[in-house]
Amino acid sequence: MDQDRQAAFDFDADATLDQTPEATPEATPEEPSDDSLGASLRAARLASGLSMAELSTKTRVHPRFLTALEQGEYAVLPSRIFSMGYVRAYAGALGLDELNAVERFKQEYPDAAVPLQPPTGAALQQMRQNSPKILGVIGVFLAVVIGWNVFQRINRIEAPHPSDLVAVPKDWAEQADHQRDRALYLGAPKAAPPDQTTPAMYITPGLEAQLTGIDPDDPNAAPPPAPPVQAAFNPRGAIYGASATVSQVTLQARKPAILVIRQGDGRILFARQLAAGEAWRAPPGVAATIDTPDPAAFDVYLNGEHGGVLPAPQSPLGSLNNRAQAAARESEARAAAAVEARARAAQAAAAAAAAATPSPTPTQAAAAAPAPPA
């Protein structure tokens, strides 16, 4: 019996779904149509032998709402959400398809706030009907574009015509032969211009004697003693920083230590943990600060000679460059003074030797003169 009721309910559901809104008869609350949801539910309840009271107890729905569903009086129901729940409970109590019953309820009692949607497959069917027209329009457009491009290319093709330059001028061939037979000679290198020579160092007269206590004009004065030679820089590992041709300050690690060079704007110029023997050459003219937690771990070399260790954990790099430049100037001045002193000593020795040589007498000069030829 349950199978008969389910088959009858599905038949009524299919008949209701196949009908269009125009063909669906308008059911009145007093006399519901035979193919409506209410009539199908009522027929299924009567076939099951359940009374309205028994169905109300089973579904826990008030008999008044169940009667309204059977008679199609949907306005009596509390709300649309509760009404769909009542329909689901009614169909489930009778063993019917709950989803099918809810869909039939939505069709018979549509929501006024939701716009009606076209049937499923209508848009696809319409697209299938219009697709040949759309494809035809696209094909015509592509054909027009391709034809226009072909037409433009054909118009741009020029017929072959002879060149305006019918012969090569004679002077071109003569100039080419002249340049080919012309030999290339390289002369001797010219001397450097005068402004590229290094001028001699100027020494203020009397200043050296006042500072050192030694008169450079005295030919018998001994040259000033040269400063003791310090330990020279000996690379024993990797060397970072500037090249040796421009750098005057070199920091070499005695033991593994961290070396950080910070510029004035806070940027890091160099940061590394140097191993023993590794070194860093400082670039000239850079305002930076040498930062290291162990200043005694780094030897300072000025112009390749040892100048002690770093004085403090944070030392200005400019002071070391100034010391290196001052030491270089002092060394150059001392070397120039020594060269000048040796030259003056040589001149004085030559003058003394010339004064010590006696001048020949007239008799010796006449005896030394060669005899006239016979």
**How does pLDDT run across 131-171, given as a tens digit for each residue?**
888 889 999 999 999 999 998 888 887 766 565 555 656 67
Q: Residue 215 and residue 224: Cα distance in Å, rounded?
A: 10
| Beta-carbon contacts of residue 368 (< 8 Å; ≥ 6 apart) | 360
Give the model confidence (pLDDT) of 216-242 as tens digits: 666 666 655 555 555 788 888 899 988
Nearest to 308 by CA among 322, 295, 318: 295
CB crowding 330-343: b at 16 or more within 10 Å, else e: eeeebeebeebbee
Instruction: Give 204-225 as a DSSP string.
Output: -TTHHHHHHS--TT-TTPPPPP
Kindly state the tokens that stand for 160: 């072959």
Find out whether 70 and 101 touch, Cβ atoms under 8 Å.
no
Average confidence (pLDDT) over 2-17: 48
Question: Which carries the bigger pLDDT value, residue 187 or residue 224?
Answer: 187
Across 240-268, average pLDDT? 89
Three-state DSSP state, 271? strand
If you average pLDDT over every residue of the chain, what do you get? 76
In percent, the amount of the chain with pLDDT more than 90 equals: 14
Q: Which range, of 29-38, 172-181, 213-222, averages the lowest pLDDT?
A: 29-38
Average the pLDDT over each of 161-170, 275-284, 303-312 and give the range with the smallest value: 161-170
Among 198-207, 255-264, 281-290, where is mean pLDDT lowest? 198-207
pLDDT recorded at residue 11? 43
Handedness of CA 89, 94, 98, 100 (dihedral sign): negative
Q: 289: burial class by Cβ within 10 Å (0-12, 13-18, 19+)?
A: middle
Q: What is the pLDDT of residue 26?
A: 40
Residue 45 pLDDT exceeds 70? yes
**Position 373 pLDDT exceeds 60:** no
Residue 115 has pLDDT above 70, yes or no: no
Q: What is the pLDDT of residue 161?
A: 59
- The number of angstroms, rounded, from the C-alpha of 119 to the middle of its chain's C-alpha atoms is 55
Give the β-pairing of 239-241 and 279-282.
parallel
Which segment of 43-52, 212-221, 265-274 scores lowest on mean pLDDT? 212-221
Two tokens at 142? 């592509």
User: How many of the other CB atoms lie within 10 Å of CB of 146?
Assistant: 10
What value does the CA radius of gyration of the chain take, rounded to a whole number of Å? Answer: 59
Give the model's pLDDT for residue 250: 92
Task: Choose among 290, 292, 288, 291: nearest CA to 263.
Answer: 288
* 308 or 180, higher pLDDT: 308
Separation between Cα atoms, residue 290 and residue 87, nearest integer Å? 87
Which of these, 260, 317, 267, 259, lies nearest to 288 by C-alpha position? 317
Do residues 226 and 341 make contact, with C-beta atoms less than 8 angstroms apart?
no
